Chains A and B, each alone.
Chain A
């Protein structure tokens, strides 16, 4: 799963998925697929199976998770607030399991009413190093490009065909 931050004051949001045999190639693929044109200041990749999701419906039926204090680790908390919205970062909690992380998120972010919660351990994330940011993201900022629609190619090819120079 690929997460992207478009600017320093923007939340990290879920952007899509790439296939890759390992984290480093996932990071490179994520850069090529998602941030060549749009702005980005940070890119994260997380193995899809490290992400635990729960919808409001699932939460209503779920057993309360044990909040045992032993073996706590950091979890990133993301939430999706509408079907159209991207899943975005709301914060971080400490918990002993993904289920417990969702329970902790509900308490910590009591003002939020998302459709879905997504949590994953911070240790499962590969983030771009800040030293890599310039080579990874600068192309998108400095490059000018012409929208496809601005090229008069179709009209030109038609004119050439009419002149009998293309068959």
Chain B
């Protein structure tokens, strides 16, 4: 792979990994708080899986940059400032109620399933192999979040109202899925990664239909002005502070 592509791909992968890490952290906030024990365990599992996926992408980015696969991911996670994270705003929003977290997970999982399918066809073999491995787990995530959406959307008056409120709040942020990731144009032209806008079109059609069938109203709002990954909501710094506080107490510690 050309050097310019190596560098571009490392930036692309760090953005993908940041999405997984931050969503995983939000999922982990349900530990001990989910409405039933089984879902408590399910969300803890989701959190571990997402953070595990982040680790795989950070490690591949480290490889591409000639950095150490063990220490570099920790450096990125624990010692960057909030403004240096490249996750999309959708994943950093506070966990909200359980309808909000479940619906966010669905919207994100449905997009991931498409992106990973495309990435598993990448011309860059190490990327394709990891994408195929992650995809297997993501299909299970999607099955889980997909099972809940219609049950809540068509459930009781309260569950429906909470799902509709969650959708109204999340939908503008979900439009951020259409935005290109760092380095995407060049990498897409080289057959290494898919076009986010292309995936978004498929996602939008499939997801809108599924949500309508789940009794929810999808508003066709215009995208947020601020959907690029360089800007964050006020919620990210607090999350990063929580995430990094122990590691920063003793940066030299061996865990």
Interface of A with B (CB < 8 Å)? 18-21, 24-25, 28-29, 31-33, 36, 132, 134-136, 138-139, 142-143, 151-153, 156, 160, 165-166
Q: Which residue of A24, A153, A165 contacts B249 across the interface (Cβ within 8 Å)?
A: A165
Interface of B with A (CB < 8 Å)? 36-39, 41-42, 45, 49, 52, 133, 136-137, 139-140, 143-144, 147, 151, 249-250, 253-255
Other than the given A24-B147, A135-B139, A153-B255, 9 more pairs (CB < 8 A) read A19-B36, A19-B37, A19-B38, A32-B45, A32-B144, A33-B38, A139-B49, A142-B133, A165-B250
* A166 and B249 form a contact (CB under 8 A): yes
- Please measure, in the bound complex, the distance between the C-alpha atom of A36 and the C-alpha atom of B147, giving whole angstroms: 19
- Please measure, in the bound complex, the distance between the C-alpha atom of A151 and the C-alpha atom of B255, giving whole angstroms: 6
On chain B, the residues within 8 Å of A135 by CB distance are: 136-137, 139-140, 143
On chain B, the residues within 8 Å of A25 by CB distance are: 147, 151
* B38 and A138 form a contact (CB under 8 A): no
- Please measure, in the bound complex, the distance between the C-alpha atom of A59 and the C-alpha atom of B42, giving whole angstroms: 40
Shortest beta-carbon distance from B8 to chain A in Å: 29
- Please measure, in the bound complex, the distance between the C-alpha atom of A89 and the C-alpha atom of B140, giving whole angstroms: 27
Shortest beta-carbon distance from A147 to chain B in Å: 14
Shortest beta-carbon distance from A10 to chain B in Å: 22
Shortest beta-carbon distance from B33 to chain A in Å: 16
- Please measure, in the bound complex, the distance between the C-alpha atom of A33 and the C-alpha atom of B144, giving whole angstroms: 13
On chain A, the residues within 8 Å of B42 by CB distance are: 28-29, 32
On chain A, the residues within 8 Å of B253 by CB distance are: 156
- Please measure, in the bound complex, the distance between the C-alpha atom of A136 and the C-alpha atom of B250, giving whole angstroms: 38
Assuming A19-B38, A139-B49, is B144 touching A28 (CB within 8 A)?
yes
* A28 and B143 form a contact (CB under 8 A): yes
Q: Lowest 6 CB-CB distances: which A-B pairs, in order?
A: A29-B38, A135-B140, A135-B139, A32-B42, A32-B41, A135-B136
- Please measure, in the bound complex, the distance between the C-alpha atom of A153 and the C-alpha atom of B3, giving whole angstroms: 41
* B136 and A20 form a contact (CB under 8 A): no
Shortest beta-carbon distance from A53 to chain B in Å: 24
In the assembled complex, 30 residue pairs joining A and B whose CB atoms fall closer than 8 Å, in A order, are: A18-B38, A19-B36, A19-B38, A21-B151, A25-B151, A28-B42, A28-B143, A28-B144, A28-B147, A29-B39, A31-B140, A32-B38, A32-B42, A32-B45, A33-B41, A36-B45, A134-B136, A135-B136, A135-B137, A135-B143, A138-B136, A138-B137, A139-B137, A139-B140, A143-B52, A152-B255, A156-B253, A160-B249, A165-B250, A166-B249
